[in-house]
Amino acid sequence: MSTLTTPAAPTARAARPAYRVTGRHVLRSEWTKLWSLRSTWITLGLGLVFLVAFGLISAARYNSNISSGQPLDPDFAGATALSLSLFGTNFAQLALGVLGVLVTAGEYSTGMIRSTLTGVPRRLPVLWSKSAVFGIVALLVGVIGAFLAFVFGSAIVAGTPAAMTLSDTGVLRSLLGAGLYLGLVGVIGVALGALLRSVAGGISVLVGALMLIPGLISLLPKSWQGDLSPYLPSNAGQSMFALTHDATSLAPGTGLLVFLGWTVLLLAGAAYRLARSDA
C-alpha cells in the first residue's frame, strides 16, 4: 500500500525589514546626490582656483610694485600678506554661493524634488541635510584655499613690508574666519535656492546681496551709511576675517553673530515655505 505524501510547504521568506527614514540616511542621500553632479566638481574647483589664484596674483603684483621702486599703488596702501592672499575671497564666494543655489533650486527646475520629498515626507530634514552637507564641503574648500593662498602668497611677499607668517597675531583666526565665511555663504545659497525655487532668482539675489547692495548703500547719506553698512551680509562676513578693525566695521565675533543671523533668517524662510507649500 502506498502512502500519499503532501509536498512540503515552501519555506517562508524572511520578512524584509522596513526602510526607516533617519537623519543619517537623508544625509547620505544628499551627499551622494551632491557628488553625482559634474557641476559640483567644476564649481568647487573654480572656487578653489579663484581663492588661490587671485590671492597669488595680488601678492605678485604687490611684490612687483615694491621691487620696481615706484610709489605704491593706492590699492596696496597698508596691505599685508594676509589681505593680499585673501583677495580672491570675493570671487570664491560667488562660485560657492551659486553652487549652493543649484543644490536646491536645481532639483526644483528638474522636478527631482518631488522624488526627494516622496522619500522624505517630513520635508524639513531634506533642507537641514542639504545645508549641512554643502556647508561643510564649502567650509573645507574655503579653509584649504585660504591656507594655500597664504602659504604661497606670504612666500612671494617675504622681505617686504607686507611680510607675515602663520605665527603672527590674528593670522590663524583670519584664515579660519575666511573659511567659515565661505561655508556660510554656501548655506545661504542653499537657503535662497529653497526659498525662491529658481536658479536665476536665487543667483540674482545672492549676487545683489553680496556685491550690489554694499555699493548702493554708498549713495545714502553718510550718517545712514555708518548705521547700516557694517550690518550688511557681506560687510559683516568680511569682518570675520579682517585682521584690523575700525569704527566703521564690526569686531570678528560680532560680525560672525550678524552673519549667522542672516543665515538663520534665510534658512527659516526656506523652511517655512518648504513646510507650507507644495513642490
Is the pLDDT at 137 greater than 60, yes or no? yes
Supply 15's cell numbers.
Answer: 520578512
CA 195 to chain CA mean position, Å: 17
For 251-272, what is the mean pLDDT? 95
Cα separation, 85 vs 154, in Å, equals 8
pLDDT of amino acid 217: 83
Helix (H, G, I), strand (E, B), or coil: what is residue 165? coil
Q: Residue 279: pLDDT band by 50, 70, 90 thresholds? A: low
Please list, in sequence order, all residues whose beta carbon lies within 8 angstroms of the beta carbon of residue 204, skipping any fewer than 6 positions away.
Answer: none
pLDDT of amino acid 160: 87
In angstroms and rounded to an integer, the radius of gyration of the C-alpha atoms of the chain is 25
- Name the nearest CA neighbour of 236 among 215, 218, 252: 252
pLDDT of amino acid 69: 72
Q: How many Cβ atoms sit within 10 Å of the Cβ of residue 13?
A: 6
For 80-101, what is the mean pLDDT? 94
For 178-186, what is the mean pLDDT? 97
Is the pLDDT at 278 greater than 70, yes or no? yes
For 22-46, what is the mean pLDDT? 89
Count each helix (H run) and each strand (E run) in the chain, helices first: 12, 0
Q: Residue 60: pLDDT band by 50, 70, 90 thresholds? A: very high
Provide the residue count of the chain.
Answer: 279
- Name the nearest CA neighbour of 251 among 236, 233, 229: 236
Domain boundaries along the sequence of the chain: 23-276
Percentage of the chain beyond pLDDT 70 is 93
Across the chain, where does the E strand assignment appear? none
Please list, in sequence order, all residues whose beta carbon lies within 8 angstroms of the beta carbon of residue 148, skipping any fewer than 6 positions away.
Answer: 51, 52
Residue position matching grid coordinates 545645508 = 131
Cα separation, 105 vs 88, in Å, equals 26
Lowest mean pLDDT among 46-50, 65-69, 136-140: 65-69
Find the farthest-apart pair of alpha carbons in the chain and give their distance in angstroms, rounded: 119
pLDDT of amino acid 12: 46
At 150-161, the pLDDT tens digits run 999 999 999 888
Higher pLDDT pick, 77 / 175: 175
Is the pLDDT at 184 greater than 60, yes or no? yes
